[in-house]
Amino acid sequence: MPNYNGVWSLSTQYQYAATWSGDNISPATAAGFAYVMGGANASVSNITTIQKFDIASTGNASDFASLDTTREGIALASSTRGVIASDTTGSRSNEIKFFVLAAGGTTQDFGDLTANTANEPGSAASSTRGLIMGGQGTSNTIDYITIATEGNAQDFGNLTITVKQTTGCASTTRAVRGNGIGGSGFTNVMDYVTIANTGNAADFGDLTRSCQFARASSNSTRGLFAGGNNEGNSLSNVIEYITIANTGNSTDFGDLSAAKKNAGTATNSTRAVFAGGFTGSAGVNVIEYVTIGTTGNVTDFGDLTLGMADTRSTVSGSHGGIAA
């Protein structure tokens, strides 16, 4: 689940037969679906609802399960579990919660982060390990968890910069973090780590924009960074991409249907899905997608069950992780 976010067939990437993200489907089949976990609705009130949809199809999301309390933290996933960590309503938290994708129900206790890293750290994952990067204040710390095993997060290493309100994506082996607010303001810096090996991050390259509240999504080869709040406080509809295996600067991919921030993201091996987000005046319920291996503007997918001003916690059951 390289992408840490958002919403989350591991067909080619993790050798599963599906994808993750948030549409509505039978809880008996986890692979290939996206799960939108909590967040803030159109009136910017936090909710407990987990929505679900099938990434490979098109159509509307449906309600699937519930969080233990209102949350808008970062999200991660494997092929069997969805994990949410960090913020709870009105407070910054180091709590980690999880649910079984095939079962639904209410989230359960997983463990704690090494510190209170709320205020939007970035997240990314492989099929087994999840990373939580930066956040709170600003921070350069990287935590990791083994998604299949409950327990507290462990120290992984440090980012190249201190940063919050950032995002991340991943391939099966490498996690890339980009954008956010660093110690000296808005940043377009990307850094990366090898997920299986603890240690400090290295420089990857630069995105075309310096912004906060962008969202990232990825398959095994490409990472996409979309939307966000640009330096100067204007919202963006830009989608840009990187080839995760090759360090370097990003390239233009296409556009979202509207300029927005805080959309949830999810992916399978071929599609990246963007769900909800804040357009400056309202939270929207729009779900839209692109084909990751090409370039171009988004296509309409369907609708969430309600407008979402902040859908940062979206995971997919087929791709290890998503960007939050």
Residue 115 belongs to domain spanning: 33-316
Q: Alpha-carbon distance 32 to 77, whole Å?
A: 12
Q: Alpha-carbon distance 232 to 171, whole Å?
A: 32
Q: How many of the other CB atoms lie within 10 Å of CB of 72? A: 27
What residues contact 15, with CB distance under 8 A and at least 6 apart?
A: none
Q: Are strands 105-106 and 62-66 parallel, antiparallel or unpaired?
A: parallel
Note the pLDDT of residue 22. 28
- CA R_g for the chain: 16
DSSP state of 287: E
Q: Is 18 a domain residue?
A: no
Q: Is 126 a domain residue?
A: yes
Which value, to the nearest 10 degrees, does the dihedral of the CA atoms of residues 141, 220, 241, 157 take? Answer: 10
The one-letter code for the residue type at 273 is: V
Taken as a whole, the chain contains a residue count of 324
Q: What is the pLDDT along the chain (324 residues), one digit of tens a residue?
A: 344 344 432 222 222 222 233 222 222 224 588 888 777 776 667 778 888 899 999 999 998 888 888 776 788 888 888 888 866 555 667 889 888 887 878 889 999 998 765 567 889 988 889 999 998 766 899 999 999 999 999 999 999 999 999 999 999 999 999 999 998 899 999 999 999 999 999 999 999 999 999 999 999 999 999 999 998 889 999 999 999 999 999 999 999 999 999 898 888 889 999 999 999 888 899 999 999 999 999 999 999 998 888 775 566 654 333 333
Q: Is 2 a domain residue?
A: no
Q: Is 24 a domain residue?
A: no
Note the pLDDT of residue 4. 36
pTM of the model: 0.87
Q: How many of the other CB atoms lie within 10 Å of CB of 296? A: 11
Q: Is 25 a domain residue?
A: no
Q: Is 212 a domain residue?
A: yes
What single string gives the DSSP state of each residue in 254-281? Answer: EE-SS--B--EEEE-SSEEEEE--B-SS
Number of domains in the chain: 1
DSSP state of 64: E
The two structure tokens encoding residue 140: 């350069």
Q: Is 7 a domain residue?
A: no
CATH number, domain of 305, equals 2.120.10.80
